[in-house]
Structure 1
Amino acid sequence: MIPDPTKPEFAVLRFGDRRVPRALRDIPASTVTAPADIDAVTGCRRVIVVGSDADLAAVLTRLLRTDRLDVELAYLPRWRTAATRAYGLPTGWRAARLARAGTAHRVPLIRDDGGHALVGAALWVGATEFDSGAPTASLHGEAVVDDTVLFDGEVTAIRVEPMRMQPGLRAAALSRRMRPTRWVSGRAAQLGTPGAFVVRDDETVNRSMRRSTFYRHTTGWLAVR
C-alpha cells in the first residue's frame, strides 16, 4: 500500500495507560480502544506502537487482514519482551530514538490459521490453569514442524516462536520446568490433539482446539530496528 500523502508520515498508537516518550510527543498519537483506531493511522508510512507484545500483534493482525503490510511498525514496549528477543528489536531509550530514525527491515510474519499474527511466543498446552508457570495437565497428540515430528504422544507443552530470518519460526517441546528440550525450525508448526488451549502472546484463546497451526505468511512485515 502507498502511504496517503494527505496524512502524517508518522503516527503513534498508544495502548492502555502507556506513556509516549517525551522525544515522540510531537507526533500525532491515538489511544486504541477499537480496531477502527488502528485503521485511522495506517495511511502513514510508519506507525509507532506503544504497548505490549499482544498490542503489537493486534496492530499487525489488522494490517494483515486489511492488506497493509507496507506500513512500517516501530515497537516501544516498557521492557524487553519475547517479541524484542525474537526479532532483535530495540528497547528503552534506543527504541524511542529509532522509532523515528531507524530503518525498516522486512522480517517473517508468523500467523495462525485464524489470521492472528504472532510476534513473541505461543504455547500449546493441555490445561487452562498454570501452577508456578507450568501447565497442570499434559498435552496429548502429535506436533510437526514442516516434515519433522516434534512429539507424538505426551509432553508438558509446546512453544512456538517467530524468527527474524527464514524459514520463519521454530518450535520446541517443553520440560516440566518449561524449558525447551530441542528447537526445530521450519515454515509451519502444526498440532493435532484431543484437546488443547493456545496461549498467543500471553493471551489465552478461550476455547479448546483439536487442531492448531502457525505458519509463515507469504509477505513479511516491516520492523523498525
Structure 2
Amino acid sequence: MKILALRCASTLAVPSGIEVVDLSAVPDRKELKAADTAAKAALPHDPTPTLAEIASRPDVSHQGAPEFAPQPVDEPLRLVVIGSDAALSAVLTRAMRADYLWAHVALIPEGSSTAAKNWGLPSGRAEQWALASEGTVKPAPLIRNDQAVAVAGSAGIRDWDGKRFTGEIVVDNSVLARSEGYGARLVPTLGAPGIAAVRATAPETGWRAKFRPALDPESLLTGRAVQAGGPKLRVTVDGVSHKRPVERVTFYRHLRDLQVVRP
C-alpha cells in the first residue's frame, strides 16, 4: 500500500517511510496534483462504470448502505490528510471531481474537528497514526453540494447577514425550517441515507461565542438530500463560506462512497 501524507499548514512530524507533501491550510487543485499523480499511477485506467453510466441505470440505488469501491487496484493508495476539516474537504472535493474516491482517506486532525468526531477517531497522536497507516477501510456516504464541494465534517445554511432565516429548508420531503430560527446545520452520517440536519436557534456569531452551535435537537431530520431557498443565503462547508450569497442550494449524497479509514 502506498501512503501519501498531505500536510496542510502543519508542522506535525510524520512517521518515517511515509511520503509527505506540504500544502496550504486549504489546498487548491494545483497543490493537489501530487494526489492526482499518485491516483493515476495506482489506477491508470478505471474499468468500472462511469458516474454518467451509474446515474443512467434504472435500478441505481441512491440510499443503500455504503459500499466498498469496486476498482481493481493492485497497490491501494491511502491519502492521510493532516489538517482541519476544511483541508479534508478540499482533498475530498478534488478526489470527487477527479473521480478517484476509491482511494483510502485517513485524517490526522489539527484543532477541533467535527469529521474526527463523526468518524470516531482516537484522540492520541500515536493511536491516530496507527489507525491512519494500518487501520481498515469502512465505506461512508460522501455528501456534496451543487457547487461540487464535498462536506468533510459539517455544513451550514443561514441568512447572509446573520439575521433570522427567511426561506425554506427541506430534508427529502420534510420541512426542517420555514422562515424560522437561524437556518440549519447538517452533517454526513456513516450509513444510509447520508445526511442528518437540525435547525439553528442562534446566529453563527453566537455559536462561536459558545464554542458550539446553538441547535434544536428535537428538529433532527435525516435524508439523502437537503434543499434550501431564500433571498440571501450564506452557505458554509467546513467553516468556509461561499463567496457570494445564493438564493438556493442543495446538498445531496454522491453516487460514489468514501473509503474512510476509521475504527
TM-score range, shorter chain: 0.7 to 0.9
CA deviation after TM superposition for structure 1 residue 26, in Å: 2.1
What SS class does the counterpart of residue 61 from structure 1 fall into? helix
Q: Among 214, 225, 228, which residue is 1:191 paired with?
A: 228
Counterpart-to-counterpart distance in 2, 1:180 and 1:174: 4
Counterpart-to-counterpart distance in 1, 2:200 and 2:230: 16
CA deviation after TM superposition for structure 1 residue 114, in Å: 1.1
User: In structure 1, what is the equivalent of residue 198 of structure 2?
Assistant: 172
What SS class does the counterpart of residue 38 from structure 2 fall into? coil
Task: State the TM-score, normalizing by the size of structure 2.
Answer: 0.75
Counterpart-to-counterpart distance in 2, 1:218 and 1:90: 29
Q: Among 133, 136, 146, which residue is 1:113 paired with?
A: 146
Question: Are 1:55 and 2:81 counterparts?
Answer: no
Task: State the TM-score, normalizing by the size of structure 1.
Answer: 0.87
- % identical equivalent positions: 33
What SS class does the counterpart of residue 155 from structure 1 fall into? coil
Counterpart-to-counterpart distance in 1, 2:188 and 2:227: 14
Q: Which amino acid aligns with 2:113?
A: T
User: In structure 1, what is the equivalent of residue 35 of structure 2?
Assistant: 38
Q: Which amino acid aligns with 2:12?
A: R
User: In structure 1, what is the equivalent of residue 179 of structure 2?
Assistant: 153
When the two structures are aligned, how many residues end up with a matched partner?
Answer: 209
Q: Which amino acid aligns with 1:101?
A: E
List alignment gaps of at least 5 residues for structure 1. Answer: 1-7, 129-134
Counterpart-to-counterpart distance in 2, 1:91 and 1:62: 27
Q: Which moved more, 1:183-192 or 1:42-51?
A: 42-51
Task: Give the RMSD, CA atoms, in angstroms.
Answer: 1.7
Is the CA contact (8 Å cut-off) linking 2:10 and 2:82 kept in structure 1? no
Relative to 1, partners in 2 of residues 1:92 and 1:79: Cα closer, same or farther, differing over 3 Å? farther
What SS class does the counterpart of residue 151 from structure 1 fall into? strand
Q: Which moved more, 1:169-178 or 1:84-93?
A: 84-93
List alignment gaps of at least 5 residues for structure 2. Answer: 25-30, 43-75, 207-212
Q: Which moved more, 1:105-114 or 1:119-128?
A: 119-128
User: In structure 2, what is the equivalent of residue 221 of structure 1?
Assistant: 258
Question: Are 1:25 and 2:16 counterparts?
Answer: yes
CA deviation after TM superposition for structure 1 residue 154, in Å: 2.8
